[in-house]
Amino acid sequence: MSFAPPRHRRVGPINWIGLATLYFKEVRRFAKVATQTVIAPVITSLLFLAIFSLALGRTVQTIGGVSFAEFLAPGLIMMSMVQNAFANTSSSIMISKVQGSIVDLLMPPLSPGEIVVAMVLGGVTRGIAVGLAAVIGMSFFVPIAVHDAGFILFHAIAASLLLAQLGILGGIWAEKFDHIAAITNFVITPFAFLSGAFYSVQRLPEPWITIAHWNPFFYMIDGFRYGFIGHADGSLTVGMLLLIAANGLMLWLNWRLIAIGYKLRP
């Protein structure tokens, strides 16, 4: 009896099958519980739309050339997109670490770059899914006009990408679920809230204008909102360059961290 000698599978420069498998695993993870991961954030952003319009909408005529609700809607959509992009990658790594299934990520023939790309794309997919659902949900209450689809698309992808990468960083760093909750409570939410989603930054008193201009979330929301209402509070060029640079930096950082196995390998 003779056996053919075992052959190992050959992969080219990129392991496409592995990349696609990890990506679909990440997508199925959130799609399985879509009520919690897609519908719930949409409900929350609709609630925000309701309370802000009711509490403030009656005193203001227009802001940036549109009604207060129209001004608010893109910011709220962007906020839920980025929060969910962050939640997807951070919870995925965290759960794998706590349950010990992180080996399933580290053992297969995937390069650090492939791991980062597949996971980040999973987070972006969740962000875009939430964004689409939120647009549909809000269109029942607020007229949603598209001024420039290119800006909407660019900012939607760049912002989800950045937060998905921050989620990987957070998931790698965190040692228990409390740490992820702390990052969400004390970092992500404050940045998102003070980003000019709820007001026109131009009309703020100092020091708030300066604070807003140092906040990357401000550029995500401002550029995204420009795509809908055609009015921006800050410089769009600065915002887009900043988002590209931040994404590049984070990609490099996550790639290095996974390559050296920081807090992932014993």
Partner 1 sequence: MTDEPLSPRVAVRLLRRPRRFGAVNWVGLATLYRREARRGLKDHLDSLWGPVVANLLYLAVFGLAAGTIDQPGNAGSLLAFIAPGLVMFTIMSRAFEMACASILFDKLEGMIVDVLQPPITPIERLTGMAGACVSVGLLTGIVLALVTHLFVDMRPVAPLTLLLFAVLGALMLSLAGILGGLWARRWDHYAALLTFFVIPASFLSGMFYPIDVLPEFARDLTLINPLFYAIDGVRYGFRGEAQASLAVGAALLIAINAALALVLWRLFSRGWRLKS
Which residues are at the interface with partner 1 (CB under 8 A)?
33, 35-36, 40, 43-44, 47, 50-52, 54-56, 58-60, 63, 68, 178, 181-182, 185-186, 189-190, 193-194, 197-200, 203-205, 208
Specify the residue, 111 or 202, whose C-beta has the smaller distance to partner 1.
202
Which alpha helices (H) appear in the chain, and where do they start and end?
16-31, 34, 40-56, 68-99, 103-106, 112-139, 149-173, 177-183, 189-193, 208-213, 216-229, 236-260
Report the nearest approach of partner 1 to the CB of residue 245 (Å).
27
DSSP labels for 124-148?
HHHHHHHHHHHHHHHHTTS----S-
Measure CA 23 to chain center.
Answer: 16
Specify the residue, 44 or 96, whose C-beta has the smaller distance to partner 1.
44
Report the nearest approach of partner 1 to the CB of residue 199 (Å).
4
User: What number of other Cβ atoms are within 10 A of residue 115's Cβ?
Assistant: 23
Specify the residue, 62 or 101, whose C-beta has the smaller distance to partner 1.
62
Report the nearest approach of partner 1 to the CB of residue 183 (Å).
11
Report the nearest approach of partner 1 to the CB of residue 229 (Å).
16
CA 188 – CA 251 distance, rounded (Å): 19
Specify the residue, 24 or 198, whose C-beta has the smaller distance to partner 1.
198
Report the nearest approach of partner 1 to the CB of residue 55 (Å).
4
